[in-house]
Structure 1
Amino acid sequence: MGLEGDAMFSIPEMKKVEDVMDLNFNTINENESVKIAVSEIIKANKKTLVALDDNGDMSGIISITDIHNLGLNNEGIEDVKIKDIMKKKVVSVEKGMPIDECRDLMIKENIGILPVVDDNGKITGILRQEHIRDYLYMQLEEYGITLKYIIGHIREGICAVNNEGVVILWNSFMEERYGIKSDDIVGRPISDFLEDTICERVLRRRIGISDVYSTYKKQDMYGLVHANPIFFGGEFVGVVCTELDVTEARNLSFELEKTNEKLKYLQDEVKNLSNGVFEGILGKSDKIEKAKAIAKQIAKTSSSIFIWGESGTGKEVFSRAIHEQSGRKGSFVPVNCSAIPAELFESEFFGYESGAFTGANKKGKSGIFELAKDGTVFLDEIADLPLNMQAKLLRVLQEKEVRRVGGEKTIKINPRIISATNKDLEKMVKEEKFREDLYYRLNVVEIKIPPLRERKEDIGILLHYFLDEMCRENGKPRMSLSKEAYKILENYRWKGNIRELKNTVENMVVLSDSSIIEKDAIPSYIVESAKNSTDDEDYPLDLTSAIEKLEIKNITKALEMSKGNKAKAAKILNIPRTTLYYKLDLYGIK
């Protein structure tokens, strides 16, 4: 870039008086006659002369105007001395004074000439109004060139119109975008070139607008426009618009949306081909696999589901998995019916309007069904729902709409209902403690979650999973169970099911100092219970199945005692060795 470019992009700096003043000024002795002064003014082609005393110091200023005024009222002016008519009270400035301050001073004192003196009071130059005018004009021209260059190279559209809609600025971005040259559109109404622009809307309403639009000038061209009215001194003077090309961003957004749709489709297909979210439900026993298979099969339907299971078996975990697998757009809202006070059931289930009752939230509150809307409502401990609420719940399920307490407007809902309990609901129906019509409405599909004592083969899986989880959460190195400790935990009946097992594992991890958890780390009540439960194992009423179960148990125990020696195991069992081989093959015992 050349000197012109360097000057154009220089840092704006207000010049000093010595940078602008005229060094070529004319002086005259104050004792000279006016006639000589006239001659000097004509010869120098100046309007003013600086008068000096005999010491060469400035004593005043005489102008052509002073001589003219004298000539109007006096005769024989040739003999009048300059010091008799010159302006003696001269305002002057020293070097270093900024130009803008000099301008303000000249306006304030109503003077057209300003002498500049040095530290000794000697005149070094003259500043006139035309000097300031020329300087400011040049500076304004330089700023204009810089501004035009910058605006022209901004990769964003800039357009400005006056209060009559006439274009006063149209940068190169707009030229390329619309195919309209600046020379053609500037000075003419924007409506002559473009129809119903955002700029024109702001021109009419005088309120700022930001919007995405497409133009008929080019196919599939979209822009983000910010248009704002401009006021100066309270008067509306025009509109300034900036425009950003968002065509590519919009196309990418559509492509991303299509990709997300494809991804969702593929995710759904993967879920259909695998257990999906049900993989998070631990266990490989036949009973738990059967429960998962039923849950997976009905997840995509809208049927109501009833889950029966003892406390701690994972009824809510199953419900969440069903909701996730269902693909429903609404939320999963769990409700513990046994934890809601009777007087708050209705407001919790259906919500309430502002001021519906004393202590109500001023803004009102959404109810459980309104929050779920098109999602899933999980009603845990459904057996504890009061009879009066059972009737209202049935009506909601039938009509698929709710009305807030204290409100008149009905709200349409379509949630899937999953209910759960550990009580015998059929017995409660017979005892008229639970509505029969609601029971059949809720129990379209029933899923039974087996207690842990009926899925002993899953205890090991759960133990190892919770051991790793609790070690991570408590910042401890990985732990394992000794054979004795494992056997005790496997034989315990786990009345609290998975919840009790998890709490027990956490207790052992927190209190154990060793990497191997021994029998001593197990809570004493579990050790005692496991010891006493050896003979308390449940056997089926079918004698053939019971005998089979007992034989498998005793053969396995004898092999453990003999450390795998079959001859010794046969002696312990008091049966021939050939009979033992037959039983091992029959039951598949390794």
Structure 2
Amino acid sequence: MKVRHLLTSNFVKVTRTTTAREVLEKFLELRQDLACVIEGGKLIGIVTKYSIYRLLLKEQSLDSSIESVIKHDVVVLHEETSLTEAKDTLLRKQVGHAVVMNEKNTVIGVMAKSDLITGLITGSHNLGIRLKSLMNNLQECVISVDEHLHITSMNEAALQLFQIKEKHMLSKPIEDAFPELTDDLRKVIHTGSVIDVKRFNLNKTTVFSSFVPIKEWGKTTGAMAVLKDVTDFEKVANELESTKRIEKILDSALELAYDAVVITDNDGNITKANLGFLNLFSIETIEHILEKPIKKIAPDLPISKNDATGHQPEAKLIQINGQKAIFNQMPIIQSNKRIGYIYKIIYQKLDIWKDLFQHMDKLENELTYYRGELSRISNRNDPFASLISKNKKMEQLKKESYIAAKSFSNLLITGESGTGKELLADGIHRSSNRTGSFVKINCAAIPENLLESEFFGYADGAFTGSRKGGKPGKFELANEGTLFLDEIGDMPQSLQAKLLRVLQEKEFERLGDTQTKKVDVRIIAATNKDLFQLVKEGLFREDLYYRIHVINLNIPPLRERLDDIPILADHLIKKFKTKKNKDVIGLTAEAIEKLQTYDWPGNVRQLENILERAYHFTDSKWIEPEFIHFDQDHKTSLLLPHSPRYRPAEKINRQELLEETEKKAIFKALEQAHGNRTKAAKFLGISRSSLYQKINKYDIQKEIKFY
């Protein structure tokens, strides 16, 4: 703070001829004790109230001039002088006032001791505020005590660390609050010396503390402890120590490993290798290969690329230095990201492994058998277990089917070919309380002239070539059970009338017989055609339509439940393994993605056909996309321009069309997810990292906003 901030600018100005009376009146008016004598703009001297008193004591009149009492030896301060310098000047000159001038040597005010004291007090107060603000913004905790070891202050960091309030701690003995600090604070106060960093545990918190004396006028009046919370740093240090221990354990495990093992980083540079690897490739020491590419050190290894979401490549039989070996690799994953690879080479005593593999094959065959038995037992408890699905529409359909099964009404199941209408009908029958059999008949597969005898049977001698004693029809076989009429839309109209009579009267006559038979049969019909449209065209009886269309259950096509493809594929692979056991685990993520970009006109039946072909021709544990082949000649009204199987007249590159379809599918998913890549990946049924790769591959980030 400068003198100009605290000077009195409204000061008394007089001349040589000014009378004592006039000066005293101005002193009283302005409440001043000093007047500046100025003539011609220059300071001549000063007159104080004490000099006026002396003038009057000499029996001078109040109207006398002040010239005789003017003090010409004046203490002058510059307006830019600091308060500290001003204080020193007044003390040195032993005066109570000073005249303040500017750079032009013009008097601009006066400064008294009282002004100076006010300024110094204000400055000290402001300095205290700044110091407290500084302490509260320090990351270190500060606790100060007086000479009696009572707490005088704590900064904000200390209050936050120990979760306490300052008002509860002030004047409290440090020994009561933090006894661990007492001895060192007492020592600092007594010696006046700093104590360097020491480690303490305060209230379950680890801190490093330094102790500093507080001195005033050369005397130690207190001390402060400066604390640094190092709890997190100690955790990091412990983690580093644990990492070192784990690394030592890993080194020991590698050395004890019977086979050759080598570890690389994500770029394929060697970070560790055991003695077995060094011996196999005739390498003297590990230092010769560290940080070097494994492809350069061991070029014979059939290294495959994979990522954190894919499946590790299957083990391969290789030959190194004329020696047979089994090679396998595995990615090292951290936080869903690949950070390196582990490569293992088994090359010692492979004959022992051969016997072990044969034993494992035997156990696998037994396990497959018991799995099949368990599946059959489970299916008895769940009538709809054969309808493999996790789709919400299918789950709702199963619930509705279970309710419909408990009713007495006829049912109509609609859906495209290959969706599983017969499986649903069988589940409904097993869910019902009907004690009879589940009898199936395909209305499109039986010649028209044989349909009536298939439905109602025939009597002995009904026609030439008939079986002796006659034959019961499907209605008789399904008595007190369920008759499943598949492809009912292909039933001839002549038979539709007879079927309607049976549904109405609950009775019929065998072909060539006169005896009426009573039956209690529930009808479940199924079709992939629009029966109502056939009614409009006069190809299907309207009264029969309403007889069988009491409850309608529609099975969604596979293209509307693409999320079922992974579990359907897994189920079908297991089914194939029961018929022909191969070392096939399942499909890669890329193969699943390819299946999910197809429109599936043949539905689940077509999926089974395509996977069965891939199962036979794959030569690895995982079915890759190149083994998935769609029927290019299969035509359907459901083909869309963006379908992978759609072909305009001109010739199109198959790979380009597949990529364009995949790109459109990603665009659609991102739009539905409003740019959220996590949700879009779930819509597509792929992992988030796979979606990132495809977004980069097709440069989609330039065309859509993500978050």
TM-score range, shorter chain: 0.3 to 0.5
Tell me which protein shows more helix as a share of its residues: 1
Q: TM-score, normalised by structure 2?
A: 0.40
